[in-house]
Structure 1
């Protein structure tokens, strides 16, 4: 349906059918009296008695009677109500989400933050060997969340050799080997 100023546009066959039914009931005059209508003009209408399309000269006829205007207004109101109902539902949904985030989610976050603050702080460990990434050409090790290779220095300690399960270190001429997840030697301090 196309909304117009005073009514709506309908396809020609629906118009002709409705017009013919009104003629049979006696509520409308014949197709020739289009001038006497008080609700607007019709554009490019073929004045045939059947009202059907006559070789392309018949275009869509615009209904501008109060009855058709009321139909169009009811369709507009129905669509408007559907849109408003959807908007009201969306607003209610947003309100539920807001309430949830303020009551449940916020209290849960507050609880987690308090737990994190109350947790004992981990002592920083210098020289904790977390893992070994071994390969024949360029092995590497993970020490204190840093990746190191042979010859690199971390916390003043030089990496001498990386084996499959342990790493050799040197600090000021003192050499030692440390396995993965082993407590760091006193040399790291």
Structure 2
């Protein structure tokens, strides 16, 4: 797995991304695009290598483009068991009604249709990086109870706005099926962040 081990002294200002795929385009074009935009990217076509590297160090995101889609969802499930806060981004042309809910239940962070504009994949990576930074802030707050309440209060206010807006749109019976699935993923992510913050609210 080329370039898979990072120098521990390298800057952490970029996202650390693993890409696993059995599509040559995903293994070549996508990593090059992300690198050009300042991200660190390692690639592989084997799920076992992803699990090994996930166990060794923290990554901000794993991008998964595997066929059949069930293989990708199974990898999401295994990665979630290893690192519950690791963002898994699934690229798939399978938009079957059962696939997306199954992926959400497995712990997927973002489900993107394939083929997907590279800009959208990069946006998902940036969101994953932001979530990792939030995790670090929460950890720091837990170590310093004096600022824990301030962090929890600020983030919960943001989550309330996101959740409320998503639920408002989902109440529309005429809402497009794809948009409803996207909103369900947003709500799922918001709930996970809220769960992360619950221990801090007790300080």
Q: TM-score, normalised by structure 1?
A: 0.19
Greater fraction of residues in helix: 2
Q: Which has the higher contact order (CA 8 A, sep 6+)?
A: 2
Larger radius of gyration: 1
Greater fraction of residues in strand: 1
